[in-house]
């Protein structure tokens, strides 16, 4: 397991950028009331076919001698392990040309849940290294919502329709 | 390990290359437990022990308090944030050493902690 969930987000984000994403959407829901921490990272990169997806998720214990294929690390397998260990679930959806969505949930109060860590620095690092990519962050708790986009205009309007839609998604992924 | 066997901590601080992070240090510990998985510590650590770990996040202090752990030794030179140290000031001693957990365990064993 990585020490902070921000590092997982950084890891997934780097995968997305390596996959040629032009829009990278990071959502974090931290709900004490419902006792869930949910991370959702979505990109419009080139996506993965079924075989690649399988390989990414495998924990390849027997492969110590063979080198890993370039660009495919242990990150997602580790995140899945963390999510499942902390009473949550892990889900990834991807297809060639369709982008990739990764969702990991965990019990907020699980004693082994890694701290979220420094989300600001993570997003900043992703933005600084990729000025042409639109990087969106949406961080929600029971009482507050913080939104950021690296391509945000001066004039900012709240996107209420999207909010309710996404709340439905977040609740659905843990049902 | 019997609860009656208490081990003096202060004489081994030198061998552990340990720096206290909190003011108060317990005179003795009842034993030692080494783990980086907090749920494992919750399940298996006995009261009064010295807990050796690389984990430095806030939950360490909570788990230590819950299990009446006497002191926590952070290895590999790791130190928690000042706010976390402040939370621990009530009754749990925190220490840090540049040694690895394995090396620290070896020194503790050599010093007679069983």
Closest residue in B to A110 (Cα) is B39
ipTM of the complex: 0.72
pLDDT value, residue A164: 40
pLDDT value, residue B58: 85
Inform me whether the C-beta atom of residue A88 falls under 8 Å from chain B C-beta atoms.
no
Q: How far is B102 from chain A (nearest CA, A)?
A: 20
Look up residue A59 and give its two tokens.
């924990």
Contact B36, B54 (CB under 8 A): yes
Across the interface, do B58 and A115 touch by the CB < 8 Å criterion? yes
Across the interface, do B38 and A114 touch by the CB < 8 Å criterion? no
Mean pLDDT of A73-87: 89
Q: How many CB pairs under 8 A join A and B?
A: 14
Residues of A within 8 A of B38 (CB-CB) are 111-112
Contact A172, A56 (CB under 8 A): no
Mean pLDDT of A18-45: 96
Inform me whether the C-beta atom of residue A112 falls under 8 Å from chain B C-beta atoms.
yes
The DSSP call for residue B4 is: T
pLDDT value, residue A161: 43
Better-scored residue on pLDDT, A72 or B25:
B25
Q: Is the confidence at residue A165, as pLDDT, over 90? A: no
Cα separation, A148 vs A139, in Å, equals 9
Classify residue B2: in a domain, yes or no.
no
Domain that holds residue B60: 7-110
Radius of gyration of chain A (CA): 16
State the total domains in chain A: 1
Coil/strand/helix, residue A133: coil
Q: CB count, 10 Å around CB of A36?
A: 20
Q: What is the CATH number of the domain that holds A81?
A: 3.30.565.10
Coil/strand/helix, residue A15: helix
Closest residue in A to B42 (Cα) is A111
Q: What is the CATH number of the domain that holds B25?
A: 3.40.1390.20
Place of tokens 């997602």: A76
Better-scored residue on pLDDT, B9 or B89:
B9
Residues of A within 8 A of B42 (CB-CB) are 111
Q: What H or E segment, with its residue span, contains residue A147? A: strand A145-149
Contact A92, A82 (CB under 8 A): no
What does the pLDDT look like over A113-157, one tens digit per residue? Answer: 999 999 999 999 999 988 999 999 999 999 999 999 998 654 555
Look up residue B44 and give its two tokens.
């298996």
State the total domains in chain B: 1
φ, ψ at A170 (rounded to 5°): -65, -40
Classify residue B104: in a domain, yes or no.
yes
Across the interface, do A111 and B58 touch by the CB < 8 Å criterion? no
Pairing of strands B28-29, B19-20: unpaired
Domain that holds residue A122: 5-174
Q: What H or E segment, with its residue span, contains residue A51? A: helix A50-57
Task: Identify which of A3, A112, A115 has the shortest CB distance to residue B39.
Answer: A112
Look up residue B104 and give its two tokens.
């620290």
Q: What H or E segment, with its residue span, contains residue A29? A: strand A23-31
Q: How far is the CA of A111 from the CAs of A47, A108, B32, B81, in angstroms?
A: 34, 9, 21, 19
Helices (H), chain B: 13-16, 38-44, 59-66, 82-88, 101-110
Closest residue in B to A2 (Cα) is B55
Residues of A within 8 A of B58 (CB-CB) are 115
Q: How far is the CA of A171 from the CAs of A6, A38, A110, A136, A174, in angstroms?
A: 21, 9, 19, 20, 6
pTM tops 0.80, yes or no: no
- What residues contact A25, with CB distance under 8 A and at least 6 apart? A40, A41, A42, A43, A136, A138
- What residues contact B76, with CB distance under 8 A and at least 6 apart? B54, B98, B99, B100, B101
pLDDT value, residue A29: 97
């Amino acid at each position: 397991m990585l020490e902070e969930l921000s590092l997982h987000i950084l890891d997934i984000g780097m995968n997305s950028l390596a996959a040629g994403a032009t829009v990278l959407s990071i959502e974090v829901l931290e709900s004490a009331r419902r006792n869930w921490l949910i991370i959702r990272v979505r990109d419009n990169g080139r996506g993965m076919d079924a075989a690649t997806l399988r390989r990414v998720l495998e924990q390849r214990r027997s492969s110590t001698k063979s080198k890993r294929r370039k660009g495919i690390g242990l990150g997602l397998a580790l995140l899945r392990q963390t999510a499942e260990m902390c009473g949550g679930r892990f889900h990834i959806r991807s297809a060639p040309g369709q982008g990739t969505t990764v969702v990991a949930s965990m019990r907020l109060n699980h004693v082994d849940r890694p701290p979220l860590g420094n989300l600001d620095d993570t997003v900043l690092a992703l933005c600084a290294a990729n000025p042409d990519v639109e990087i969106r962050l949406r961080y929600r708790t029971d009482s507050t919502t913080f939104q950021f986009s690296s391509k945000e205009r001066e004039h900012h309007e709240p996107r209420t329709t999207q909010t309710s839609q996404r709340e439905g998604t977040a609740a659905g992924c843990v049902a | 390990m019997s609860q009656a066997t208490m081990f003096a901590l202060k004489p081994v601080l030198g061998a552990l290359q340990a720096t206290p992070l909190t003011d108060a240090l317990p005179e003795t510990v009842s034993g030692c437990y080494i783990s980086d998985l907090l749920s494992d510590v919750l399940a298996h650590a006995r009261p009064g022990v010295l807990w050796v770990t690389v984990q430095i996040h806030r939950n360490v202090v909570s788990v230590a308090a819950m299990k009446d752990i006497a002191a926590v030794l952070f290895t590999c030179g790791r130190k928690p944030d000042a706010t976390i140290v402040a939370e621990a000031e009530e009754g749990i001693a925190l220490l840090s050493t540049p040694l690895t957990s394995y090396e620290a365990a070896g020194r503790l064993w050599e010093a007679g902690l069983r």
